[in-house]
Amino acid sequence: MKKFLVISILLSITLTGFYFFKNNNNNVGEKKMPTSERVKNLIENLTLEEKIGQMLIVSYSSSYVDEDLKNAIINNKPGGFILFSENITNFENTKKFIDEIKSISDIPMFISIDQEGGKVQRLQNLEDLNVSKIPDMLSLGKTNNETLAYEIGTLMAKELNVFGINMNFAPVIDIIENENSFIGNRSFGSDVDTVVKMSNSLAKGLEENNVIAVYKHFPGHGSTIEDSHYELPVINKTKIELKEKELVPFENAINNGAKVIMIGHIAIPEIDENTPASLSKKIITELLKNEMNYNGLVITDALNMKAITDNYSEKEIYEMAINAGVDLLLMPSSSSSAIKLIKESISEGIINEEHINKSVKKILTLKFDFFKNKYQNKNILGSENHLEIINKIN
């Protein structure tokens, strides 16, 4: 009798683990179990390696899913994937590529992209269909039309919905301070109120149409001339000065329920010497989380940028980012390497495993609460209705 009871318990645990792992993109919105309970059960069935994997958003330079990518998703369970131009070819191949990535993963994935408008819109690489060409955000900001910003956010989301993309690294809410700013026309402009209201409306359009908005680049990239892809930008302002300008759009985004904020690779000596914001506990935990009361997800800018790779080892980057309060690591060198190094840092006592558990809980909660399967027909891409909206900007 005891033997039968033990077998029954083991079978129940196994089936429970399987049930939660198969909560994938095809049915994630259909389960009636409370999110908190679903997340708790799933976390209990994840290994440490799999929990670390959920903190990674990976990239891959291919337009098809080969064995290497397939094995990385199966074995490492990355939390998300970021699409670049090299992943986007013709419609059928691109849709197949994304669908395969999502179907391989037992756990729902963030499928993310930089679709800002202007010079940064990856879908423009599509070869056989005309995707709407969205003007830069500076031009949109000049209209000072919140309704139009909402319509652009909605337009973006619906075209992303066609491919099953559920996260957009937009809006850019940096405030432009000079004509030589690295951000340039990617932002809504130099007026704080304009940046606030236009970004809020655009983000609302995205999220009401099933795409997570990612506000960037905290604590503000608008006054920098340097490109963090190649060197570390420095902002010589005090915290008080930042609160008067750069931080205002982020504060407003937080008050409006921002789900994800991206941290830039920017040094602010007045706060934390030459430590990049993306690796700074003083900027992420003390300023963003504690002083500004932000409880959503924190994601780094891409971890392959020279602003940090020229100054820190791969292991140091992971250790500093996680200890600073980061939840999602964008574009680690490889998922296997990141998991290995972060696990080593945990065993060495440099990273507290509780940081990992807290981040994974927030990541899974957002996925289970937000993801819905509402695909749009491909005919909406570059449609006349979308063109009419865009023409209101010009």
Catalytic residues: 229, 301
**Size of the chain in residues:** 394
Q: Is there a contact between 187 and 173 (Cβ–Cβ < 8 Å)?
A: yes
Beta strands at 260-263 and 212-218: parallel, antiparallel or unpaired: parallel
Q: Is there a contact between 278 and 265 (Cβ–Cβ < 8 Å)?
A: yes
How far is Cα 282 from Cα 359, in angstroms, rounded to an integer? 18
Q: Report the candidate in 290, 288, 284, 275 with the shortest Cα–Cα distance to residue 322.
A: 284
What angle, 0 to 180 degrees and rounded to 10, lies between the N-to-C axes of helices 384-391 and 146-161? 150
